[in-house]
Amino acid sequence: MSSPATHASTSRLGWTSIGVLVAALVVCRVIALQSFPIYDDAFITYRYAENLAHGKGLVYNPGAEWEPVLGTTTPLYTLVLAAFAAFGLPIVGSSIAFNVLCEAIAACLCAHLLGRRTVATVVAVGAFAAVPQIARITVGGMEPPFLVALALGATACVHGGRPVLAGILAGACCLVRPESLFLVGALAWVQHRDRRALLRFAMPVAVIGVVSTLTLLAIYGQPIPQSVVAKGKHSTWVTKLTRVPEILAQGFGPTLPMRILVPFAALGFLRGLLPASRMRALLFMGAAMVGSYALVGTKTWGWYYYVALVSWCIALGLGFESAVERFAALRDGSRTSTFKLASTVSLAVLAIGSSAWVGSRHRDRVTPNVYQPLARWATEARLAERGVSILASDIGAIGFYSNARILDSEGLVWPDALGFRHQLDVLRAHSPEYVIWVVNDYRLGRFLSDTELAARYRPVQRFSEAGNTVLTPDPKKLPTSWEQDYLVFERADLNSN
């Protein structure tokens, strides 16, 4: 008769199989590069990183009278990207490569924390590789992959008896995203019975928190990023309540296949939150983040849900494992080498196939139709050399590619904007050389309806995801939704030569 230890050993995946799953994840991300563009907001972080790398400080508009302003919520990720830029590496490509590396590390840590159990690991890592929303965030240049790698590293250190290193990594998480306080609380609870370990964990977290808070206060006058303040200002209780269903859907089931699999994921969440689970800190963090967004009703974007989506993948693996354990034949079969190899290869192929299918149906039109022509225009128009000011609501790409002074109508990097109700009011007050309107009724429509103000500017460029180049769209046919379709206006009295 085989011992329990033998059963545990034979049910574990080898690191070669883990390598196959990680390789599949990397292939899926390479495929995703053809489907998804960089997020416009990622360019805000890129500009902060570029300025820091070139000795201008961690600011968005170097030399502006309102600087310094911390408009990025991810200072540690910004520092990492600044290091890449300081070594002469292209910051956009470096961010994507770094994110994929973080995901590969996270996949290995996930396998380790799951005990490399066959069903749970194969399903969790396979889903992690295949879910298109996760891939979109990774290749979109945002910071969540870095956050999850650090969070899983901190969790592994807690369960590996290294509380000091766990505290350092957990503290670092808080410098990547402020919501990481949920992780700190969860990891502290995991260790609450061992007071010595808890103290050794809490000390580096406290030191990192105090030092970073005092540093931010000394430089920026406040520890809370300006972007967080601005997003709160633009919300009302009515809009907050209407966002709750969307927030819950994005966090727990953004696609039909994920909704179909919700029973397995729900079962996995219940199992994963039990005291015996080594995944409960991350699962709690993912659920708590979505719950806090729903409670506060803040305006959120896709990358806010990365942790929740990764948690969903882990829960799915645990849920499938629980289902398999109900059947003795499947449970025993999962320990065989044939099953391990077949399941690993099958999930790897399925993940790559699903990514390829998504890639065939969704091609990146933003990069060739918006970012690339915008970058060419900014260079040809010598915006930075001429010292012009540009008013915009989407400030990422135009700010990064132009290096011009940006008047941010949303107030993410320019606090004065919060004193105005609409981008139109900023335009009246400051009369910048250029203004960029999102082509929809709320932005462009209101501008065109003010004929006196509109007469002061002339349309000069359009950068549209759909490839639309019409400079005089019909005001009556403007969409109400947002998309990356920008119309650039130049002040009529300006000599652009």
**Tens-place pLDDT, residues 239-282:** 566 778 888 888 888 888 888 999 999 999 999 999 889 999 99
Question: What pairs with residue 389 in β-bridges?
Answer: 405
Torsion of CA 289, 295, 301, 305, to 10 degrees: 20
**Tens-place pLDDT, residues 440-466:** 999 999 999 999 999 999 999 999 999
- Interior/surface letters 76-96, b for 16+ CB within 10 angstroms, e for the rest: bbbebbbebbeeebebbebbb
Question: What pairs with residue 464 in β-bridges?
Answer: 485
* Strand-by-strand arrangement of the 485-491 sheet: 405-408, 389-392, 434-438, 485-491, 457-464
Question: What pairs with residue 463 in β-bridges?
Answer: 486
pLDDT at 1: 37
Q: What is the pTM of this model?
A: 0.92
Instruction: Kindly give the pairing relationship between strand 405-408 and strand 457-464.
Output: unpaired
pLDDT at 331: 59
pLDDT at 2: 41
Q: Is 348 left (phi over 0), alpha (psi -120 to 50) or beta?
A: alpha
**Can you state the angle between helices 75-86 and 40-53, rounded to 10 degrees?**
60
Considering only CA atoms, which of 375, 358, 357 is closest in space to residue 366?
Answer: 375
pLDDT at 4: 39
pLDDT at 8: 42
SS3 per-residue string spanning the chain? CCCHHHHHHHCECCHHHHHHHHHHHHHHHHHHCCCCCCCHHHHHHHHHHHHHHCCCCCCCCCCCCCCCCCCCCCHHHHHHHHHHHHCCCCHHHHHHHHHHHHHHHHHHHHHHHCCCEHHHHHHHHHHHHHCHHHHHHHHCCCCHHHHHHHHHHHHHHHHCCCHHHHHHHHHHHHHHCHHHHHHHHHHHHHCCCCHHHHHHHHHHHHHHHHHHHHHHHHHHCCCCCHHHHHHHHCCCHHHHHHHHHHHHHHHHCCCHHHHHCHHHHHHHHHHHCCCCCCCHHHHHHHHHHHHHHHHHCCCCCHHHHHHHHHHHHHHHHHHHHHHHHCCHHHHHHCCCHHHHHHHHHHHHHHHHHHHHHHHHHCCCCHHHHHHHHHHHHHHHCCHHHHCCEEEECCCHHHHHHHCCEEEECCCCCCHHHHHCCCHHHHHHHHCCCEEEEECCHHHHHHHHHCHHHHCCEEEEEEEECCCCCCCCCCHHHCCCCCCCEEEEEEECCCCCC
In whole angstroms, give the CA distance from residue 346 to residue 216. Answer: 49
In whole angstroms, give the CA distance from residue 201 to residue 6. Answer: 34
Instruction: Flag residues of the chain having pLDDT under 50.
Output: 1-10, 237-238
Q: Are 137 and 34 in contact (CB under 8 A)?
A: no
Total number of residues shown for the chain:
497
- Amino acid identity of 68? P
Torsion of CA 79, 85, 87, 88, to 10 degrees: 180
Cis peptide before 68 (omega within 30 of 0): yes
pLDDT at 10: 45
- Amino acid identity of 413? V
